[in-house]
Structure formats: structure tokens, C-alpha cells
Amino acid sequence: MFVFRLLLFSLFILVVPVYSVSAQNIPAQCYEQYEVIFPLREPVFDRPSLWRYTKREAGFDSLIDTDIGAKGNIISAGEIISSDNSEDLNILFMKVTQDGKVDILKEDKRAGSQSVSSIITRDKDVLIAGNQLKNGVSKVRISYYDYEGNFLREEFISDSKYNLYLSKIIPVNDSKNSDMIMLVWAENKKIPEDNYTRIYRVSSKGNVIWRRSFISGAPNRLDEIIPIENGQYLAAGYLIIDSKRKVGWLVKIGSLGEIIWEQNYPRGKEALFKAASEYKNDGSYVVTGSTIPYGNNDKRAGFVIKISKTGETIWQRYYTGNYRYSGYDVKAHDDGRAEIIIDANPLEDWGKGFTRILTLSPNGYLLDDESYEEGNDATIFNMVTDKEGKRFLAGNTQNGYSKNMIEKGKKQKEFLDLWIMAIPALPNYNNPCVTKRYGNMND
């Protein structure tokens, strides 16, 4: 069965659902389809935003991660290069009010080049975590700030044999504890092919409590980790098989870092996962990333899969079209819907990139397709929602080239500008597949 599905996908048959209406007039979204390859329509930029902000200054700056702060403000962390004469990244701290007023926008210069991976907002401080690259050595860095963006202190985690790269840091899955869980990619300094994923538990002050290594016999990388039921975690990324082929990889992890189960998902020439979210009602998961289908001119397709709590595929969707698509973020809702952040890259260098938000029904039916653009080339990395469901999205846009680069005739260097916006909450949703009239169509 598995080989058959891969063969079907390799032929790249466009399997677009065509629904008939029965005598009972059953809604289209109530029919189950295990696998659909779906060509997205051309984008329509007709959706309103509540507010949006771009910095529009010379240099390079991008927002990487966003969270809701202790008092309801939107706190974002990113990277900035403020001078054409430097290649070192500095840390960017941003605080925006719910109505879009930029309260704080600060650059923090530290020794070496500072990349950003994750942000955690706590009652009294904000953690911005990433890597410090200095003298060719990469360490994990955890920096602590107050809510005014003032630097408090930092902690480092390093290894004499491996360069360490932080993928994600989250609060430990225990509301009574202030520890944190980190996913770290380790790469041998002398043998780059020797690489694998580690998971750390660290104290609130950044001290290592324990470490586990995921050495599967093949290079691997986990980029996402989320808390799930029973104090456990789900991690998502990729595994390399047959020496060169990337396949999607999911690992369910216990509270002590032990592997409960792991499963790989080979799809097309290459597949990887970037984000995951849990359905609280039944413990299933929705995961997104991308794949390169066979026979599709190496165009990347957005990949969304819903799996059971034990890793079995419930349904899967591939989103293609006149752009290269990659899933960057996902949110599962209590009503069964899922929102997918899809990055759209043009096929030609002169094209314009943008972001789509796809809303899927519990059965994977496409309910809505929102497109958002800003400047010449826009990318959204993540989305957070407040208690009312209002959505906040952060990333970057390309608005041109820095003046110094134009003078040097080197237009290939991008001039990136941070981008943050707020959009309305999703409309209310009543699942038509669970009613007295239709019964539960999933049975």
C-alpha cells in the first residue's frame, strides 16, 4: 500500500476532489479523502488587515518568532544587520500594542554573530534564544531581557567536538515547573556528515539538567517541538535515508526525553516537516512542511498531514500551483479546523513572493484561502492568536536594495525589512458533519 501511494504521487496525477451531492445534500467537506494533490488558484489579495508595520530602513532586519506577552502586548524577536560594512547578525527586540503601536524596537549588539530561533515570554522577563557564531564555533545562546527590551544576562551551551545550533526552545510541559526543553542540532566540527539531534532540559536560569541524543544511524534534524498530552512532546523534522533522500520525521518523546515512538514519512524526492499542532479533543496532530514531488520540475509543494496519536496517517494534502510552496506554521483549533501558514515563492527571480493562510476542515477540505503581500517579496514565519482569536503574523519583506550595495553594483544582496501584521479572527464554525441530520461522517 505504501509503495502504491508513492508511485501514485510520483506520477503526479492531479487528484482534485469532485464531489457529488446525495439526496440528503451532504456537504462536500464531509466526504473523506485519504490523499489529495491540490493546485491552488492564483492569489487574490482582497483580505483586510487590522494593522501592519514595516520598518523601511536601510539594512537587513527580520522577525523570526513572536509571542503574546504577560500584559497582552505582542513581543517579537528577530535578527538585524544595521550596516552594509558588517555581516554579523544582532538581536532585535520588538514590543507592539494590540492596536499596532510600536512601543519598543531595539537592537542588541553582542560579541560575534547572533542568530535567533525562539522566544519565550514569562511573567517578568523574555527569553530570546538562538546561536552565537564566533571564530567559527557555534554555541547555543539563551538571552534574558526585561519587557522594555533591556538586556539582563545570557547563558551558553557548547560542545568541544560539535557545533550546536538551536532549533526550538519551549517551556517544559508542566505548569508547576519553570524549566525549558530545547531541540538542538549537533554537527561535528571536522566531519559535517556526522550530525544528529539532541534534546535538553534546562532550568529557568539556563543550566543543563539532562541531555538526550537521537542517533538513528542516519543524519537527522528536528526543527519543531510542541507539548502534548500527559506531559509528553511531539517533535518534527527530517531524516536522511539512502544516504541522500530527506523524509519527514516525527518523534513522540516522553517527559524524560525518551522516545515513545518515531515514524518517517517518505513523500516524493524530498520531504520535511517544519511545524506541528495538537487537536486537544482527540489527541491527533496536524503537521506541515514541504515535499518535492516526482515529475513536477522540482517545484516544492506545501505538505499537510493529519496523524493519529500513534503516528498513523489519517489524511494528507499536497498544495501545488504556479509557485513553490512550503508550510511554515500550523494551528489546530478546538472546533477541528486547522490553519496552515504557506510561504509562496515565485518560479522566476523577478517574481513576487507572498504568504497564504489555508483553513482546513477536520477532514482536510479547503474551507478558505487567504493571501497577503507586502513589498516585493514577503515571508511569514509564525502566527500567534490572542484570547479573542485575533491573529498576529511576523516575518519579513523585501522592499529593495541597500544604497551601498547599489553603488557597488551588487544588487544580489537582499534588503530585508521586518514585517508584522494583525488580521481578524476566523469566523465561527459549526462542523456540518456532526449533526443529527448527517450523523458523524467520520464513522
Q: Are strands 313-320 and 35-39 parallel, antiparallel or unpaired?
A: parallel
Which pLDDT score, from 0 to 100, does residue 364 have? 96
Calpha distance 384→394 (Å, rounded): 9
Q: What is the DSSP letter of 41?
A: P
Calpha distance 46→49 (Å, rounded): 10
User: Does residue 21 lie within any of the structural domains?
Assistant: no
User: Does residue 139 lie within any of the structural domains?
Assistant: yes
Q: How far is CA 231 from the centre of its chain?
A: 22
Q: What is the DSSP letter of 34?
A: S
9 SS3 class:
helix
Calpha distance 46→253 (Å, rounded): 42
Low-confidence ranges of the chain (pLDDT < 70): 1-24, 58, 83-85, 400-414, 435-443
Calpha distance 238→76 (Å, rounded): 27
Matching residue, cell 534574558: 144
CB atoms within 10 A of CB 269: 17
Calpha distance 340→333 (Å, rounded): 11
Element (H or E) spanning 258, and its range?
A: none
User: Does residue 35 lie within any of the structural domains?
Assistant: yes
- Please provide the size of the chain in residues: 443
pLDDT tens digits, 32-59:
899 999 999 999 999 999 999 998 776 7
pLDDT tens digits, 98-150:
999 999 999 999 989 999 999 999 999 999 999 999 999 999 999 999 999 99
CB atoms within 10 A of CB 187: 18
Q: Are strands 151-157 and 137-145 parallel, antiparallel or unpaired?
A: antiparallel
Q: Spell out the SS3 assignment of 353-391.
A: EEEEEEEECCCCCEEEEEEECCCCEEEEEEEEECCCCCE
Which amino acid is located at 36 in the chain?
A: V
Calpha distance 395→159 (Å, rounded): 31
Which pLDDT score, from 0 to 100, does residue 387 have? 92
CATH number, position 314: 2.130.10.10
Which pLDDT score, from 0 to 100, does residue 436 have? 42
Q: Note down the domain range covering 37.
A: 2-16+26-440
Q: How many domains, in total, are found in the chain?
A: 1
What would the DSSP string read from start to end of 185-243?
EEEESS-TT-EEEEEEEE-TTS-EEEEEEE--SS-EEEEEEEE-GGG-EEEEEEEEETT
Which pLDDT score, from 0 to 100, does residue 435 have? 58
Which pLDDT score, from 0 to 100, does residue 25 have? 74
What would the DSSP string read from start to end of 123-153?
SS-EEEEEEEEETTEEEEEEEEE-TT--EEE
Its pTM surpasses 0.75: yes
Side-chain half-sphere of 10: how many Cα atoms within 13 Å?
Answer: 8
309 SS3 class:
coil
Which pLDDT score, from 0 to 100, does residue 14 have? 39
pLDDT tens digits, 391-432:
999 999 987 654 444 454 444 445 789 999 999 999 999 999
User: Does residue 38 lie within any of the structural domains?
Assistant: yes
